[in-house]
Structure 1
């Protein structure tokens, strides 16, 4: 890992953000690297696009008549807005299920005004409010198609989780040892691999015409997210802001603890970012800087994104007392 950002306070350097950034093409050639591309890390929710390959490649779109919005939310870390909850519930109803089948655990929505409304109304969060409820619904669809048990779908030895692992290995062209498979925040397996391997997998998703066995699934995911990015993240999230600003040019998926994955569909480039302080604001700034270097973010849009994701460090009187300097 290397220094990706320096946070100043006054004239001194106050904090450092270390990590790795790697960009590779569909042939696994490194296009850009800062840090160690062989660093092993958990992609966390950045892997949801790869996890969604399983239900779609099994025929979930056709069997359950899934819309683009529904496919997008199967790939989501959603904010728990009303349209997110309604979409997840709609998929479950199509499958003859209800939210009691979800095993992702409850938490209040990421969207602060929705969470505050629930608290004021005395509504406790349920599993469906979990940002991963769409992903878990996709796993339940896979169970129904394969005739697998539903109650333990989240366990590492369940046939659906075994299939997901197999598909991720094929997409990333790597072997994931058992000791590199742990449990994510929502209770399902999460797969650690090198940054380069994950970026290569993302590049291969963008090159879906050559993704043997997953062509239609990957194409459906790309189209669904491009047209419905708000469903994969939320109305005020960086994923949605970037994808909707440059439709067809970029797909990005945030992950917990400083991870970000994505790809450039028209250039067949995969991206993996890991910041080891785990601060999402710093990770977002690193992503914005990288996309400027790759000329995805156009110069005329610099002010737009710089205002959305400011580098200024402010005190409680809203005075600027420092800044974040990017080291890419």
Structure 2
């Protein structure tokens, strides 16, 4: 029988709990077994951008990354949901240029930058959004690099293309189950479904990977790239970036749309998957912060952790009217 979602986060206004978020969360160890779970571990989900490090695996395991001489920064961008800030778009543009490609070769779609200064500049100078600004442009640069290596056609985002077939094969291997289906993501690439347990298992595989084989070396390279370049993975003020920077041990944290989060904890061999059922980012951010604190991988007192664990809710005059709190059963 499916299990009901568990309490994740409470929204307090004064002394009254005004609303709450619920969801599913799973922590797996290096064997793929569940260490702890909340809600339904077998709930089928779309991990959205939390799966980007898996989607980047064929880029490395195929030998395409080595052949192209990709750097750690570029591997981090392949896993990124970035802000479309200059530090992101300039690097993606240079990557494409190095491969003899351009923004026109991307299939992720144009998206306005979320970098405030660049947004103002673009509005003032009537510069329209382009595909480099898309938060997934790094992932798509990775797809294009893999596609050159495989010799596939230009529509690399299509589900039956060799690039996406390679992604599905490794997705099913790491999650330990046949994917029951897929949805088309915001960037037009397929996003394969799995269970909460399957996604946590995949993250634990990343956490416990060794240099013994090609897949292990690829997982190490990708997780290390994310941890080395947290600003490239997300950006200024973002939960992924701030939580990685604030962690008390090496941790790779990755957000996904509709309230999804994953985390890789190499020193423990643990993987975490979080899904906020109503798709609320604030609920998912609170939950992933709470689980990192629960495991001792982050301190609740660190301001960059508290910003998501217990963020204040101000009104339009800047007066604190309440706060978000993790559900008691999640934090301790």
Match of 2:319 in 1: 319
- State the Cα deviation string for residues 23-43 of structure 1 (Å, max 9, x = none): 111212211211111111111
Q: Return the TM-score normalized by structure 1.
A: 0.93
Moved over 4 A (4+): 307-310
2 CA distance for matches of 1:217 and 1:191?
Answer: 20
1:295-306 to 2 correspondence within 5 Å?
A: 295-298=296-299, 301-306=301-306
1:261-276 to 2 correspondence within 5 Å?
A: 261-276=262-277
Contact 1:226 1:248 survives alignment (8 Å):
no
Q: Tell me, what secondary structure is at the counterpart of 1:209? A: coil
Matched, 1:136 2:140: yes
**CA-CA distance at 1:155 after TM superposition:** 0.6
1 CA distance for matches of 2:232 and 2:182?
Answer: 28
Contact 1:205 1:211 survives alignment (8 Å):
no
Q: Tell me, what secondary structure is at the counterpart of 1:7? A: strand
1 CA distance for matches of 2:248 and 2:137?
Answer: 25
Per mean C-alpha deviation after superposition, the further-off stretch among 126-135 and 89-98 is 89-98
Per mean C-alpha deviation after superposition, the further-off stretch among 242-251 and 287-296 is 242-251
Matched, 1:243 2:247: no
Gap regions ≥5 residues in structure 2: none
Distance 1:243 1:99, change over 3 A: same
2 CA distance for matches of 1:62 and 1:247?
Answer: 31
Q: Tell me, what secondary structure is at the counterpart of 2:210? A: helix
Match of 1:72 in 2: 76
2 CA distance for matches of 1:210 and 1:67?
Answer: 18
Contact 1:37 1:194 survives alignment (8 Å):
yes
Distance 1:305 1:256, change over 3 A: same
Aligned counterpart for 1:124 among listed residues 122, 128, 132: 128
1:171-320 to 2 correspondence within 5 Å?
A: 171-177=174-180, 180-209=181-210, 212-246=213-247, 249-298=250-299, 301-307=301-307, 310-320=310-320
**CA-CA distance at 1:213 after TM superposition:** 3.8
Aligned residue pairs, count: 324
**CA-CA distance at 1:13 after TM superposition:** 2.7
Aligned counterpart for 2:168 among listed residues 155, 165, 168: 165
2 CA distance for matches of 1:99 and 1:311?
Answer: 38
Per mean C-alpha deviation after superposition, the further-off stretch among 240-249 and 111-120 is 240-249
Matched, 1:154 2:154: no
Aligned Cα root-mean-square deviation (Å): 1.8
Match of 1:43 in 2: 47
Contact 2:309 2:325 survives alignment (8 Å):
no
Contact 2:57 2:219 survives alignment (8 Å):
yes
Gap regions ≥5 residues in structure 1: none
Distance 1:298 1:15, change over 3 A: closer
Distance 1:303 1:248, change over 3 A: closer
- State the Cα deviation string for residues 66-114 of structure 1 (Å, max 9, x = none): 1111111011111111121111112112211111100101111122332
Distance 1:311 1:223, change over 3 A: closer
Distance 1:247 1:100, change over 3 A: farther
Q: Tell me, what secondary structure is at the counterpart of 1:48? A: helix
2 CA distance for matches of 1:69 and 1:259?
Answer: 24
